[in-house]
Structure 1
Amino acid sequence: MDILAAGGNAVDAAIAVAASLGVVEPYAAGIGGGGFWLIYNASENKYRFIDARETAPKAAHRDYYLKDGKPDRDRSINGPSAAAIPGQPAAFAYLSQRYGLLSLPQVLAPAIEQARTGFEVDARYQKLANFRLHHMRRYPVTAEIFLDDNQVPAVGHRIVQPELATTLELLAKQGKAGFYQGALANTLVEAVQANGGDWTLEDLANYQVVEREPIVFEYDEHTIISAPPPSSGGIALAQMLGMLDAYQQQTGTDWRQLDKVAQAHLLAEVMRRAYRDRAEFLGDPDFYQVPVDKLLSEQRAADYAASIDANKASVSLDMQGPANLHEGRHTTHLSVLDKYGNRVSATLSINLPFGSAFTVAGVVLNNEMDDFSLAPGVPNSYGLVGAEANAIAAGKRPLSSMTPTMIESCDQVAVLGAPGGSRIITQVLLGTLAHLQNEPVEQWVSQPRFHHQYLPDRIQIEPDTFNSSEINRLNTIGHEVRSVGRQYGNMQAILWDIQQGKVTAASDPRGVGAAEVLSVPQLNIR
């Protein structure tokens, strides 16, 4: 809000928020990671998608993490060997230069101040630090910054990050070159190589963000704009809604008219099919020809819809696709709308909590290399098998589920997204369906969630999503229903009702964020 009040636009504010989150949520995001930015530029009436996903170093190859023919999970998850080349610093510089109104030093100033003065540990920080405690202790620099005497800090303990403040200042003053070249780049590479990683100065210097065409499709008099590959989110979202439309045409059954259990069954079946295709066909489009037209065709939606039995669950293994992909769950999301009608939906990540657990120059490095298929055709420790489309290659970007999304109709605009690994896409689907049913924005972010990802072949639920009678009905038609034992996700959403001249926004009660509305945009999107 300070950035907007200072004359910044939605992009300036989004950069400031993302930088701040990287300071106070070191377990979820930061300049050691990457992300996807979906932007609407009101003056151009144009959507832009900024791919700031990390890239594999040039030393990486298809069998990079194989040891005696099996994936080396420790090397792909912990320490700098797990870190891909970060995209977030390049994104800040790129977005600020091309789409912002304020200078990069102005928009990074709040995060720099927060890093220097510190923030207080809360219960969420404690939980995620405890999850990664053993590995944080392996790296003295990380332990010194984020632990207290090698233990998870008490609530209220202040985390101060002066080295991160210095690194952010260098980025603010010198732009992209301040991170990817010069003294800081040397420091990063030396530390990575000294601790088992393979980064080079060339890897850093060669990193570029990529502008891609977003996935755009129509559903129920709405235009939905979402993330293209290397995200699987936009394609999966389009496929699921396309199947619902085809199912209605074939059977006359509108998902809105179904009772809770019948609707959950239908949604689980469309989720199952979209995730089956995700496992086989999705990857970095610069390395693999993703068959977008085939996946989004009316014929594929019709064929999949025809295979859904209203009274019986499908069996995923009968679909003869590869098993699904493991993906880290700890990500962050932000949504911004400014008074001009510009808007940003951005999902950012370092993968697992505290990324690789390795810190250099105040930067917690990601462990996004684990999002590749570590060994196509070979199960990892989760029993999941990846496909060739997402095999490791030098310079390649790992597949992601991050799904920043916007929805337009003749009189409304919605901006939404969420963290949550492979469950991101189904969160956005459920949020979209709530919007299509004219539910208030608070309902989009707070409704109980469920998820099916093809394999493992089960409906995953939050503890209070279904009661015992509803679970029994789902079991009766062949679904295994299993609670994940906790709530998940952290959706951030905005609804601009242009006709009524009203903006509402909501932050997921599962998280620690907040939503605030100061004014209503004056420009019509049309």
Structure 2
Amino acid sequence: MKKITRLFSVVLSINITTIDVIAQDVPIYDSQAIFHPVISKNGMVASQEDLATQAGLEVLKEGGNAIDAAVTVGFTLAVTLPRAGNLGGGGFMLIHLTKQQQTIALDYREKAPLAATENMFLDENSNVDQKKVRFSHQAVGVPGTVAGLAMALEKYGTISLKRALEPAIKLAENGIIVDEDLYNSLIFSRRNLQKNPASLAIFYKSDGSPYQIGENLKQTDLANSLKLIAKQGIKAFYQGDIADKIVADMEANNGLITKEDLAKYQPIIREPIVGNYRGYQVYSMPPPSSGGVHLVQILNILENFPIQSLGQNTASTLHLMVEAMKFAYSDRFKFMGDWDVINIPIPRLISKNYGNSLSKKINLQRATPSQNILPHPIFQSNESKETTHYSVMDRYGNAVANTYTLNFSYGTGIMAKGTGILLNNEMDDFAAKPGVPNASQLIGSEGNKIAPEKRMLSSMTPTIVMKEGKPWLVTGSPGASRIITTTLQIIMNVIDHKMNIAEATNAPRIHHQWYPDQVQVERGINKDTIELLEKKGHKIIKSSFAMGSTQSIMYEKGRFYGASDTRQPGALTLGY
């Protein structure tokens, strides 16, 4: 069903013979236009790809827990969603263990190689070499996905690594049927992928054409790599045959990753960022993700305003959201980076007092220019949004929110020869030159400059919201710089606006990130609201593409309620 947003209120005369229509900024929902979530009793999986969701659900049905299912989904997506699912990238997993009453942030973000240098992507004129930082072997960060998923399973799961890998191995070996989403991604990324012989050989036919919709795509090299990991564990990837092939490919193409880089890589278990919004506890990722800090910061600002009574996606509400976003993203520029390397004033940034102080700086009638919040030149760049998120909840009360990525669609487009593994281009998430934006238009500061073994800053925001100490909402999204604001709007929609999770997912979204000083809006934000925002001084840009692709699950009154975003094809939520 389609959500209908209108801008009016109707006043009836006493004898109901006349109707006066008065322009108001009040969006309403048609009583027939209701989105319905998936409902189940025992457990649920929501991911961007249906085969991966099915693989995770089978694990839950067998008695496995949310961590078992999440690791299975992660490995399966490396086969079925190659543009974002991965073995050669990294990410973040938020885990709630109900028995221990503990929430854990697992950081398996990529790291800069030991040979990385601060100015490695600058040309002779000290400008950033965009091709080198995004599409070369030097753009690859040391991958963390295999180590991260394996650590989660070993510490908190109940099944073997071999069992978790079974669906991925089967699908890589026997092949997957190419759907419209995969076909379109191969068309979109053709120029980049076909520059690499290994990628060309896997994803395209001998004449250079992509596999067509309905055809079978086998990934034999990837199947062999997965089998090695199933047999030998992570040593196969970080010290054994797979490592040898990755390093050989690096050495042949001026890459930086060595056997020492791979052998030294370790995921880190961190304390999550914790906030409170209108009585709900919000858990999310700490640095090197900026997501948790700024999600809580924005919520702290907005808690000072009567968002519910102002209405969902009204000009008044959107104005407050945009102003709060500006403050958060300017702080991202000022403070954020790898927590292990630089000092970040996290307690202050996520404090209620700081949120209150920022809320008092908001002019309710006028937009504050970004330049007045924190001066900086404006730069333009392109968006990279090919991350993927999935959520899992089980019948035991455990929950997992996982977001991981190669950065760009198919990462660098480079496949390590003989492995079937696509390699990330996460080095672009550093500030290759402080003050110059990356592919997400995000401007980096000194705190995020390149250094050996440093983890690059991220916007990934896997989040678990608790109600009375128990997991109530599990959510997250791809979308690069828009991840934080997309996750924010899911939370506001269910808490402030009392939407069910499907309605919250399908509601139109907006985004502002301090620079460039513009509000991006999806289709569905009505014309009158846009005009009211413009009168307040906002520059409105109508987005040419959808923002994010959330995969969310809620638990309420003994039932799981889930929704996969309709903004991208192929996603599926299943429960049992």
Q: TM-score, normalised by structure 1?
A: 0.94
Distance, in Å, in 1 between the alignment partners of 2:81 and 2:327 is 34
Query: Which secondary structure state, in structure 2, belongs to the residue aligned with residue 274 of structure 1?
Result: helix
Gaps of 5+ in 2: 1-56
Distance, in Å, in 2 between the alignment partners of 1:181 and 1:365 is 17
Q: Alpha-carbon deviations, 1:10-39, whole Å to 9, x = none?
A: 111001111111111111120011110000
Aligned amino acid, residue 368 of structure 2:
S
Q: Which of 111, 129, 132 in structure 2 is aligned with 1:55?
A: 111
1:112 equivalent in alignment to 2:169: yes
Distance, in Å, in 1 between the alignment partners of 2:74 and 2:378 is 30
Q: Retained in 1: the 8 A contact 2:112–2:454?
A: yes
Q: Retained in 1: the 8 A contact 2:71–2:150?
A: no
Q: Retained in 2: the 8 A contact 1:216–1:224?
A: yes
Aligned amino acid, residue 82 of structure 1:
A
Alignment of 1:120-519 (within 5 A): 120-148=177-205, 149-246=207-304, 248=305, 254-259=306-311, 260-321=314-375, 328-360=384-416, 361-378=419-436, 385-410=443-468, 413-436=472-495, 437-462=497-522, 464-497=523-556, 500-511=557-568, 512-518=570-576
Query: Which secondary structure state, in structure 2, belongs to the residue aligned with residue 15 of structure 1?
Result: helix
Q: Retained in 1: the 8 A contact 2:397–2:471?
A: no
Aligned amino acid, residue 309 of structure 1:
N
Distance, in Å, in 1 between the alignment partners of 2:90 and 2:507 is 28
Instruction: Give the number of aligned pairs.
Output: 509
Match of residue 70 from structure 1: 127
What RMSD over aligned residues (CA atoms) do the two structures have, in Å? 1.7
Q: Retained in 1: the 8 A contact 2:315–2:529?
A: yes
Distance, in Å, in 1 between the alignment partners of 2:471 and 2:396 is 15
Deviation for aligned residue 1:186: 1.1
Query: Which secondary structure state, in structure 2, belongs to the residue aligned with residue 403 of structure 1?
Result: coil
Q: Retained in 1: the 8 A contact 2:83–2:409?
A: yes
Distance, in Å, in 2 between the alignment partners of 1:227 and 1:144 is 37
Query: Which secondary structure state, in structure 1, belongs to the residue aligned with residue 269 of structure 2?
Result: strand
Q: Retained in 1: the 8 A contact 2:133–2:428?
A: yes
Q: Retained in 2: the 8 A contact 1:282–1:399?
A: yes
Deviation for aligned residue 1:377: 3.2
Q: Retained in 1: the 8 A contact 2:464–2:471?
A: no
372-381 or 170-179: which moved more? 372-381
Q: Which of 85, 91, 116 in structure 2 is aligned with 1:29?
A: 85
Distance, in Å, in 1 between the alignment partners of 2:571 and 2:219 is 21
Identity, in percent, stands at: 37
Q: Of the two, which has the highest radius of gyration?
A: 2
Query: Which secondary structure state, in structure 1, belongs to the residue aligned with residue 303 of structure 2?
Result: helix
Query: Which secondary structure state, in structure 2, belongs to the residue aligned with residue 516 of structure 1?
Result: strand
Distance, in Å, in 2 between the alignment partners of 1:324 and 1:297 is 29
Distance, in Å, in 1 between the alignment partners of 2:253 and 2:346 is 40
Query: Which secondary structure state, in structure 1, belongs to the residue aligned with residue 104 of structure 2?
Result: strand
Distance, in Å, in 2 between the alignment partners of 1:196 and 1:484 is 38
Q: TM-score, normalised by structure 2?
A: 0.86
Distance, in Å, in 2 between the alignment partners of 1:451 and 1:377 is 21
Deviation for aligned residue 1:477: 1.0
Query: Which secondary structure state, in structure 2, belongs to the residue aligned with residue 35 of structure 1?
Result: strand
Match of residue 522 from structure 1: none
Match of residue 30 from structure 2: none
Q: Alpha-carbon deviations, 1:429-475, whole Å to 9, x = none?
A: 0000011032111112211111011111111112x232222222111
Q: 1:381 to 1:429 in 2, by over 3 A?
A: closer
Q: Alpha-carbon deviations, 1:356-386, whole Å to 9, x = none?
A: 0000210000111111101113466887642
Distance, in Å, in 2 between the alignment partners of 1:15 and 1:261 is 41
Deviation for aligned residue 1:176: 1.5
Match of residue 251 from structure 1: none
**Higher RCO (CA-CA < 8 Å; seq separation 6+):** 2
Q: Alpha-carbon deviations, 1:249-270, whole Å to 9, x = none?
A: xxxxx02111411111111111
Q: Retained in 1: the 8 A contact 2:176–2:217?
A: yes
Distance, in Å, in 2 between the alignment partners of 1:215 and 1:366 is 26
Query: Which secondary structure state, in structure 1, belongs to the residue aligned with residue 297 of structure 2?
Result: helix
Match of residue 523 from structure 1: none
Distance, in Å, in 2 between the alignment partners of 1:64 and 1:151 is 35
Deviation for aligned residue 1:196: 2.4
Q: Retained in 2: the 8 A contact 1:142–1:358?
A: yes
